[in-house]
Structures are given as C-alpha cells and as structure tokens.
Amino acid sequence: MKLQQLIPPERICLDIDAKTPEAVIDTLIKALTDVGAIADPELVKQKVMERERQVGTGIGFGVAIPHSEPGPYPEPIAAFGRLTKPVDFKSPDGKKVRLVFLLLTPDKTPALHVRLLARICRLTRSATLREQLLGVATAKEAAEKIAELETDYPELTP
Amino acid sequence: MSKLKLVVIILNKEEFLDELLEGFLELDVRGATVIDSVGMGQLIANVPIFGGLRSLMSGARPYNKTILTVVDEEKIKPIIDVFEQICGCLDDPGSGLVFVLPVDYARGLQDKALS
C-alpha cells in the first residue's frame, strides 16, 4: 500500500477557507462523507478532535496531520486539504499550517497507523513537494505530485 | 524462522536522523538505540601532529550518530534502501557506514517497542 492510493483527487480539497483546526477538520470530514468514505462523521469528528486536544498535530514546515487513534474504520482513510490562510495546529516549529492530511486507520491494523503517519512526515519533509502542493491548480495535479514523489518509497505493509 | 541481526548504522549526516527513524517506522522497525558518537578522524586531528589529516578526510564530519537496531534479517535490505534514499549512496564519502552482525541471543525485544 502507498499513501497515494488513499488520496485520489476526490479526497483532495484545495483552498479551504477556515480559521481554526476544527473548521479544517470539519471540511475534510465532510469531503470524505460526501464520497461515501465515512459512515459516521460525528464519531470521526469526536475521535479526531479528542486527539487534537491532547497535543497539536502540526508537524512543522506548515504541515499538519490531524488523525484519530485507530478506530472502527473498515480500511485506512485519508484526505488532503490546502488552506487559503495559515491555521495554527500547534506545530513544534510554531509555524502555521496550510497543508493538512486527515488520517483514519482501522483498529485491526494499528501498526499501519504509525507507518502511514511516518510516510506523510517523510514525504512532506520535501520542500519541493510542499511548494508544489501550495502551487497546484487542481486536485488531480496535487494527487499526481504526491504520487510522483512516493514512486521511490517502499510499499507499506498493513 | 527468520534470524535476528544487529544492524549498526553510523549516520554522518545527523540532520537526517528524524527522517531515517520515520523511514524505520514505515518498515515496522519500532525500536532502535541512538548514540551520540565521534569519528576517529575528529579525535586524532585534534592531536597537533596529526592536524594535517583533516584536509584528507573528504566528506567527514566531526560528530555522528550511531544507531543500533535488532531486526529480522529480511529487514536488512529495506533498511539499507531507506538509508540510501534519505542519506545518499553509502559508497559516497561522508554519508555513513552500515554493518550487520548475527545475534546469538536476545531478550527484552518487544514487538511493540518504540524505545
């Protein structure tokens, strides 16, 4: 499995106009609900916000990965959002965030949760990818940029 | 049953440590010990008579990290691949060093270790 398989264009929201992490998370959960990826958006929000309150999910470099602990999801689910204005996800470097990956993984594969978090961290360390994601015009292009960089990365086992 | 191996990595480009550990997590390598270390070149070049050696150490850096991890042997190639993807080819001067030793006996290895 690769991250790119979880983030097809229909799970990418460019130019989210939100002022708080909660509003960003709401938008991404709605996008996943609209494509039928999430059956219980209320539960997902509750779990993601619970995690968000523990410690901010900003990882630095203007990137955040809001997520819930592994939960009752049938498969790994992800979405990517680009924000029009930077939002504070309490990143360790203090930098506000414009690139957000929402990640949900099944409780039956807890190790995959860590692997996917690590994969997103590694990919977004690339300043080139971050610039590309900030600059793309369409969701399809964003998906392609992620897939391009991930080509040389190993498959993640569930 | 797969065999356990001790993988020893000398990481010269310390700035890649976090990314390398993230790469380990992707491979389900969940435990490793990271030690601050110093190369021989740095120490010996501080002895005045050997000061000239500094200029001969192409790509060498004063400090490095030594990473120890015990893994199933099938993880060795993926670990080396991810090291080279992040830190560059091991054959290039200054990127680092990897060697692998057999493990005769081990206790305390935890499947879920994230130490």
- Asked if the B4-37+63-102 domain carries CATH number 3.30.70.120, the reply is yes
Tell me what pLDDT residue A33 has: 97
- Say how far apart CA A21 and CA A18 lie, in whole Å: 8
| pLDDT, tens digit (0-9, with 9 covering 90-100), for B54-92 | 666 656 677 899 999 999 999 999 999 999 999 999 998
- Which residues of chain B does A93 touch, with a Cβ-Cβ cutoff of 8 Å? none
Any chain A CB within 8 A of the CB of B82? Answer: yes
Return the amino acid letter for B28. D
Residue B111: per-residue pLDDT: 63
pLDDT of residue A95: 97
Q: Tell me which CATH code domain A3-150 carries.
A: 3.40.930.10
Question: How large is the ipTM?
Answer: 0.78
Cβ(A107)–Cβ(A70) under 8 Å?
Answer: yes
User: In this complex, do B85 and A157 lie within 8 Å of one another by their Cβ atoms?
Assistant: no
Cβ–Cβ pairs < 8 A, chains A and B:
31
Mean pLDDT throughout A129-153?
97
**Domain boundaries of chain B, sorted by first residue:** 4-37+63-102
pLDDT category at B115 given cuts 50, 70, 90 is very low
Summary mean pLDDT of chain A: 96
Of the listed ranges A41-45, A60-64, A154-158, B4-8, the one predicted with least confidence: A154-158
- Residue range B46-58: mean pLDDT, rounded: 67
φ/ψ of residue A57, rounded to 5: -100, 15
pLDDT at B110: 73
Checking if the pLDDT of B114 tops 80, the result is: no
Judged by CB atoms closer than 8 Å, whether chains meet at B82 and A154 is answered as yes
Dump pLDDT digits (tens) for B93-108.
888 999 999 999 999 8
Beta-bridge partners for B34: B67
For chain A, give every domain's residue range.
3-150
Q: What is the pLDDT of residues A66-84, one digit of tens each?
A: 999 999 999 999 999 999 9
pLDDT for position B77:
97
